[in-house]
Amino acid sequence: MMKNAFLLILLLAGLGATAVTEKDSLPPSNTVPLHADDPELAEIDRILVSSYLNHYCFSTEECVLNAYGYSPETVPTFTDDLVARRMEVLDKNTPFDLVYNGTVQDFINLYAVRRRDISTKVLGMSELYFPMIEEQLAKYDIPLEMKYLAIVESALNPTAISKAGAGGLWQFMVSTGKMYGLDVSSYQDERFDAYKSTDAACKYLKFLYNTFGDWQLALAAYNSGPGNVNKAIRRSGGKRDFWAIKPFLPKETQGYVPAFIAVNYVMNHAPEYNIYPKKPLTTFFEIDTIGVSKRVDFNELSKVIGMPVEDIAFLNGTYKLKEIPDNGHKHYLVLPVDKMGLFMVNEQAVYTQSEIRRYEPEVTATASVGEKTPDGKVSNVVWETGWKNHKVKKGESLGSIANKYDVTLAQLRKWNKIKNSKIVPGQTLKVQTKVKRTIYTDAPEEEVAQKTEVTKSQVSSEASEEENYQDEAKAQVTEKVEVSKPQYKYYTVQKGDTLYKIASAKGVSVAQIKNLNHGLKENKLTVGQKIKIKQI
């Protein structure tokens, strides 16, 4: 376990965990027996965590923190003179130029009055992130007040993504992140690794400070780029003071430094504004990190350690497909301390089940009732759905790939978390595929239309799971699926309609419409014609 460095990755919120002992029931395993954690070692972990937490003295009890006796609904306000005096005290203890003016006051009102809910959450999260961030800042000889920049950037949300595509705690663009060592691939995005992104941010901020020799200008350059700061300096006549070049900076950057100053002030005077931290469900000292040697599927890990997939994914946000790949690189898994023991004693079982799941198809669908056979059985056509990795070839587009697999553009985007239609050769896309089978049952037709037993066969293909896949992985299982007659509706062709226009409006593909309307051609549509549309 890599306690010192990678434990810091974790500082993520949103999950509570309960230790599992021999008395607790473990999740069932399909092919590999599972084991309970050693109770004595688990108790040692618990004692160590408790000792850290007791020393840390992190509290969210308002009855303890509310030194001014405010009622819950009170939103205090203060005179400009008092705020200015408080700011002077802060300014004397930092190399940043913490000035107070009307623009700064506007941001104080934002954080302390209008968005108090955000400040409450951030204040709690800061108790978890700031120890790690301060350690990194000290390593690079950067003023510790720079930790407040992460609040301005992401509100301490390590999974935040901006409209422009910047991501993570420090809101790196992909290109800038790669410049500072953050790997971004189809499987992982290290911009969402709290520890690694903080290290990259420190390197970038140090570079900007060495370039401009002023922390305010370094902040402005972090937001808008050093090129825009250089332009503003030239347009101001060579002045190298943020407030002097402020009118020549992009509009967003003009408020960036004032926001940073306001956050400094509000975080240091939160009790005066009746703002108290919201307790996160996990803490800095309750998380640990371990290296993994093979593929880990979060769905299978969830079954073994009894922890929701969403929480595992949140703690390990760098892995985009809810799996740790086995691609020859060193990878790490972040878990609560009281789940780490369960993983370690069942590590090989997790690897085995993850490989089984890799080739296991998912049944999403369903069958239509057919004719009776001579021996009295009822035939039913069943479509089993699996997942295939499609490697983009030169000249392919999302549209052509969607048509190839008879899916919609919206589905392709959702499965692969793509916001637009831009893809590049060599990129791997996750695509849902269907396999048609015929099964037979002795049940009467009217019962078959309600429910049928379907046997899934192992599919040998390079497949990965859908996010909400809940089936237990094994080579061959039998389970019940809903089987009913396909439901359709009819659409009357209007003037100006094309198959593509109709498909887009109804959320289906052109191929699906053609399959339901045999012989239908794009140029043969006539006004008033009725065509079948699959009910979504």
**385, 362 in Cβ contact below 8 A?**
yes
Contacts of 476 (CB under 8 A, 6+ apart): 455, 456, 457, 458
**CA–CA dist 200, 205 (Å, integer):** 9
Angle between helices 116-139 and 194-212 (to 10 degrees): 70
DSSP state of 236: T
Vertex 101 angle, CA 100 and 104, to 5°: 80
| Rg of the chain (C-alpha set) | 29
Amino acid 359 reads: Y
**CA–CA dist 95, 241 (Å, integer):** 14
CA 161 to chain centre: 9
Neighbours of 286 (CB within 10 A): 24
Structure token pair of residue 512: 């699906």
Strands 367-372, 378-391: pairing is antiparallel
DSSP state of 485: P
Catalytic residue among 153, 360, 465, 472: 153
**9, 195 in Cβ contact below 8 A?**
yes
Angle between helices 409-416 and 398-405 (to 10 degrees): 100
Strands 331-336, 287-292: pairing is antiparallel
Which of 11, 418, 1 is closest to 193 using CA atoms? 11
Contacts of 155 (CB under 8 A, 6+ apart): 118, 121, 122
Structure token pair of residue 510: 């052109």
**CA–CA dist 130, 133 (Å, integer):** 5
Q: Is 78 buried (19+), middle (13-18) or exposed (0-12) by CB count in 10 A?
A: middle
Which of 209, 213, 250 is closest to 229 using CA atoms? 250
Phi/psi of residue 85, nearest 5 degrees? -65, -40
Contacts of 187 (CB under 8 A, 6+ apart): 319, 320, 321, 323, 325, 327
Vertex 88 angle, CA 84 and 93, to 5°: 150
Q: Is 153 a catalytic residue?
A: yes
Residues identified as active-site: 153
